[in-house]
Amino acid sequence: MGRKVILATCSLNQWALDFDGNLERILRSIEIAKSQGAKYRLGPELEICGYGCADHFYESDTLLHCFQVLRKLLESPVTQDIICDVGMPIMHHNVRYNCRVIFLNRKILLIRPKMLLANYGNNREFRWFSPWNKLRHVEEYFLPRMIQDMTGQDTVPFGDCVLSTKDTCIGSEICAELWNPRSPHVDMGLDGVEIFTNSSASYHELRKADHRVNLVKSATTKSGGIYMLANQKGCDGDRLYYDGCATVAINGDIVAQGRQFSLDDVEVVTATLDLEDVRSYRGEHCHPHVEYEHKPCHRVKVDFSLSDCDDVYLPTHQPIEWQFHTPEEEISLGPACWLWDYLRRSGQAGFLLPLSGGVDSSSTACIVYSMCVLVCQAVRDGNSQVLEDVQRVVNDVSYTPRDPRELCGRIFTTCYMASENSSEGTRNRAKELASQVGSSHMNLNIDMAVKGMLGIFSMVTGKCPQFRANGGSTRENLALQNVQARIRMILAYLFAQLSQWAEGKPGGLLVLGSANVDESLTGYFTKYDCSSADINPIGGISKTDLRSFLQYCVEQFQLTALKSIMAAPPTAELEPLTDGQVSQTDESDMGMTYSELSVIGRLRKISKCGPYSMFCKLIHTWREALSPLQVAAKVKHFFQMYSVNRHKMTTVTPSYHAESYGPDDNRFDLRPFLYNTRWSWQFRAIDNQVSKMEVGNGDHD
C-alpha cells in the first residue's frame, strides 16, 4: 500500500497587479515542484493578483484579470498531473472573498474562502473582504463563462470543505487562520484530515520568525499531521517585506525550511513524508473513545493519489533545527532585499543618500552595501533574473557585477552637505565610510544657499534671526536649524535628478532617508528635511538596534570606519559649534535617551498605554533609576513632544516596516494628528498618583 507523499510549498516574489509576472512565477514554481516529484503544489495567499492590491480589490478589473490568469493556468500543460492550490479574490453572491482555488487536470476541485480575516497591524482585510462564517457549509459557485468553456463545469463546491484523495485528506488554512485561537486545523485534524496547507502573506518584523515557526510546530504537535506553509516574499509595492520561510512540518517537527531573505523570485521547498507516521502518532495521541463535539468536514472526493504503490525505497525527510537569523542579520538582509525590489521595479538608476557621518545615515549606507553583496552573490549563484535586472539598472547589457564595492560605485551616490555648523569629525567619518563601501561620494557646502534664503527673509522683513548661542530666541533658533535641514532636502533631490545627466548617463536616483523609528515617534526631525526622501530603509528600526547592526557590519563586512561613527555622540549639527566641537546632541535635545524612547514606544503602541497607564508601568520598570516624580516628568515630556509633532507622521517618508511599535500614520499607527497637547485630564491623573505615593512613602518612613 502506497503511503509516502511528496509535497511542494513555495515562496514567490509576487507584485501587486503584475498579472504577467505573477503568472510566469506561478507556472515556474509548479514546473519545479513537478520536477521534484511533488503531487501537490501550494502557493502564497492571493498570489495571482498579489496580496498588496489594497483598494484595487474593489475593482472588477482585478477579479476579471484573476480569472483570466486562472484560465491560463488551467490550460497550461505544466499544471497537468499535479494538484495545484492557488490564491485569488472571488465574488460569490456579490460578496468578495479571499480564496484558495484548488484544481487538477483542467478541473476545479473546490474553492475555499478565508474564514478568519487579518485585521491588525498592517492588515486591513475586512476593508475588502468578508469572512466565510458558515462553518462546515458548502454552496455551489457558478463559474464565469471563460472558465466553464475551459473546464466543462458549470458549478464547483464553494465553502468550508476539504479534499479527499484516494490515499489521504487535505484541508486548507489561509494565513491568519493559523494565528487565531480557533484555528480550523484543530477540528479538521480531529475529523481525520492528515495534511494541512497554509497560504500566507506574512510580513517581516524583527524577532517575529520564531512565532510563526512555533505556531506551525504546535499545529501538528497536539494531534499530529503534516503542515505546509507557503508565503509571499519580497516587496510587492508597499512598506512591507514578505519574508518567505516556506515550511513543512510533521507531528511537531520541522522537516523542510525555505530561506527567509533572498533575491530569488521563485523558491520551491519539497518534502517526502510518510502518512503512516501521522497515523501512528495519532493512534497514541488522539484516543478514539474520546468524543469531540464538532461537525464533520464536507469532503470533496477526487480520483487521484498523492502516493505511489512502489515507494519503499523513497527516503523521507527527517526533522531539522530551524536556523533563525539574529536581529542584526535581519536588519542587514530584510531592508536590503526590499531596497533591491524597489530599485529594480521603480525603473531608476540607483540611490542617493545624504551621508552625515552619524549612526542613522551610516546604517542606511550599510544596508545599500549589504544589498550589493546579495546581488553579487546571486549573480555568482547563477540567478539570471538578478543579472538581467542589474544590467537594466546600470544600463549596460554586458555588465556582470562581481565586487560589491564596484557595484556600489555604479548605483550608489553619497553626499556630505556641510554647513558652518558641521564639524571636521563628521565630514571625515562620512568620507571614510563612503570610501569603504565604494559609493560615489561628494562633499558640498550649503552655506551659500542658507545665506541666500535668509537674505530674502531679511530683505522682506528687515530682520535677521540669530541662533540661541548668539542671543536669539527659541523660535529664531529653531527656524535657523530648519532652513539648513530643508535646503539639504532640496539639494538631495536636485543631485538625484541631475547627477546622472551631468555624467552623460540616463535615469535618475532614488533619494534615501535616514530617520529611525524613535525619532519619528517623538518628531525629532524637521518636516521636509533630509528625512523626506523617496524611501527610508531604517524608518522602522530603533536606534538601539541600529547601533548593534553597525557593530555587526564592522565584523561581517570589515567596515572599520563604523567604529568612530558609533563612538561619536548622536547630533544633528544644526547649531553653532563651541570651540570647533559639537555642542548639540540628540538625546539632550529630546530630553530622554534612545533606550528610554524604545521602552516608551513599545508601551504606547504594543501595550496600548495612554499617559496614565504608561506612568503606572514605568514606575516599576525604572524604579532603580528614577523616582515616581521623575518618571512622571519623562512621561509628560514624551506625550507633549509626541502630540506636538504627530502632524509630521502624515508626510513621513515611506519606510521599511520592521518594528511592531512603529508610528507610521499612513498604514500602521492610525491616530489623530491634532491633539490637545496639554493632556490636562491625563496629566492630572498622573499628578494625583504621584501625590498619593509621596504621602504613602512619608507615612511608611
- Residues that are catalytic: 45, 114, 175, 356
Q: What is the CA radius of gyration of the chain?
A: 28
Rounded CA-CA distance 480/471 in Å is: 13
**3-state SS, residue 11:** strand
Burial of 363 per CB tally in 10 Å (0-12, 13-18, 19+):
buried
Rounded CA-CA distance 232/243 in Å is: 7
Question: How many other β-carbons are positioned within 10 Å of the β-carbon of residue 286?
Answer: 15
Helix, strand, coil proportions of the chain in percent (round to 5)? 45, 20, 40
Rounded CA-CA distance 213/233 in Å is: 16
* Amino acid residing at 450: V
Beta bridge partners of 172: 197
Contacts of 651 (CB under 8 A, 6+ apart): 527, 528, 532
Rounded CA-CA distance 401/394 in Å is: 10
Q: CB-hemisphere CA count at 13 Å for 694?
A: 11
Rounded CA-CA distance 169/298 in Å is: 11
Rounded CA-CA distance 320/297 in Å is: 32
Question: How many other β-carbons are positioned within 10 Å of the β-carbon of residue 133?
Answer: 10
Rounded CA-CA distance 287/284 in Å is: 7
Rounded CA-CA distance 608/603 in Å is: 6
Rounded CA-CA distance 20/69 in Å is: 8
DSSP type of residue 592: S
343 and 393 Cβ atoms separated by less than 8 Å? yes
21 and 385 Cβ atoms separated by less than 8 Å? no
Rounded CA-CA distance 661/383 in Å is: 36
Rounded CA-CA distance 641/675 in Å is: 11
* Amino acid residing at 253: D
